[in-house]
Amino acid sequence: MCSAGWQVDPVKKLPHDPCPIETIWRENLPEKCPLNDLIYGLMTDYVVPIVTKRRREIRNDKIHHMIKHTRNDKLLEMVRYIKRIYAIKPEYKHNKFWRKHGGGTGKKSEKIEWYINCEFPLHYLQKTYDQYIVGPEQFTRGTRVFYHYQPNYYEPYIIVSKLKTNYKAIKVEWKNVCGVYKSEKCIYWNKPVLTHDFNNHIYDLQPTTNQNYDPCLSNYKYKIKYFTIDPWNCRKMETENYTYETIVREKYVSDYNNEHEKRAKFWNTYIHPLFTPQGSISKASWFRQQTNVWSITHPPKAYHRNQHMNMRWNQEWAIIIDTVKNNRKRN
């Protein structure tokens, strides 16, 4: 502590300077500045502690406000970024708050305590908060995006329409390029991903696990699904030519799903009861849209490994073909 009654020349260098910081800023004051008239040490003893306390309160209030009003996933991105920067600094290796409460990855109250006690600069949090206030990037129909499920993991999607806060999108496939890591060039933008059709109970895995079936038929249980994605986790790639690519693909998706629903309804209503309880080995081929089941006159090519299964295949398809002809005449 300085003595407020010390009247020696404030700018004179002494062997022991009780108020070094005040000495420095006094040396840089203009000659006619009113602060020169203050008793040396008064600022250090009485004013600086009050100002420091108040500035810390203002800083902590800002941290509370910005963390409380920012999304958790954005805060986690900030925490991971800070950790990468400060992990190499020796003063943080023994900081008891550095790893407390999961190192800032817990609840918002724990993030606040972590950020305050580690005394990080405020600009990291300010930037995260400002981005949240501005909002996510807005996309139009046909925009190609990468959707980030988690750090360093993303999947390609194409925007179909805007919902209230999220977007409706179609997921597309990666190209299977040997020796090449997934990149923007390894995407089939016009090949939607097929997903399980749980609504029609077409998801059993029996055919794909039985040794008598070819694994290539496993896609019978799939349809094209629309996904809901969060724009905060999307990165824009490019916007398609809406008049061509987008319309063609959306028509393909609509036609594919309508045909799938039609086949699922017909199978569950007319064909499934014929093969209960033993089940059918023709189910996979029925849902392959490469086969026009509505006008077929002969069984499709068999993919089985023994003669007995080939005979059963032909018998089932003979029943299916007759069932389709009879019921289509009624309808």
| 275 shares a domain with 242 | yes
**Which whole-number Å values give the CA distances from 306 to 209, 301, 309, in the listed order?**
16, 14, 6
| 227 shares a domain with 168 | yes
| 105 shares a domain with 224 | no
Residue 7 in domain: no
| 179 shares a domain with 65 | no
Residue range(s) defining the domain that contains residue 74: 41-134
Q: How far is Cα of residue 197 from the mean position of the Cα atoms in its chain?
A: 23
| 253 shares a domain with 205 | yes
Distance between CA atoms of residues 224 and 197, nearest Å: 9
| 254 shares a domain with 201 | yes
Residue 15 in domain: no
Residues 6+ apart with CB under 8 A from 125: 62, 63, 66, 67, 78, 115
| 198 shares a domain with 128 | no
Task: Give the chain's residues under pLDDT 50.
Answer: 1, 3-8, 10-12, 178-180, 201-220
pTM: 0.56
Last residue of a domain, one of 134, 160, 175: 134
Residue 26 in domain: no
Residue 20 in domain: no
Q: For 166, phi and psi rounded to 5 degrees?
A: -105, -170
**Which whole-number Å values give the CA distances from 200 to 73, 190, 265, in the listed order?**
35, 26, 8
Model pLDDT, residue 219: 44
| 324 shares a domain with 177 | yes
Model pLDDT, residue 171: 87
Distance between CA atoms of residues 68 and 118, nearest Å: 18
What is the number of domains present in the chain? Answer: 2
Q: Where are the beta strands (DSSP E) in 43-186?
A: 143-150, 153-162, 167-174
| 189 shares a domain with 153 | yes
Last residue of a domain, one of 134, 169, 199: 134
Residue 1 in domain: no
Token digits of residue 224: 């094209």
Q: Is 177 in a helix, a strand, or coil? A: coil
pLDDT tens digits, 13-67: 555 677 777 787 788 888 888 877 777 777 778 888 888 899 999 999 999 999 9
Residue 298 in domain: yes
Amino acid at 71: R
CA atoms within 13 A on the CB side of 96: 0
| 289 shares a domain with 185 | yes
Last residue of a domain, one of 134, 161, 187: 134
Cα torsion through 234, 237, 238, 244, rounded to 10:
-80
| 90 shares a domain with 158 | no
| 256 shares a domain with 171 | yes
Residue 101 in domain: yes
Contacts 24+ apart (CB under 8 A), 69-74: 69/129, 69/132, 70/128, 70/129, 70/132, 71/132, 71/232, 72/108, 73/232, 73/233, 74/128, 74/131, 74/132, 74/232
Structural element, H or E, at residue 317: helix 307-330
Residue 6 in domain: no
**DSSP category for residue 25:** H
Model pLDDT, residue 54: 93
Model pLDDT, residue 99: 66
Distance between CA atoms of residues 135 and 228, nearest Å: 18
Model pLDDT, residue 209: 37
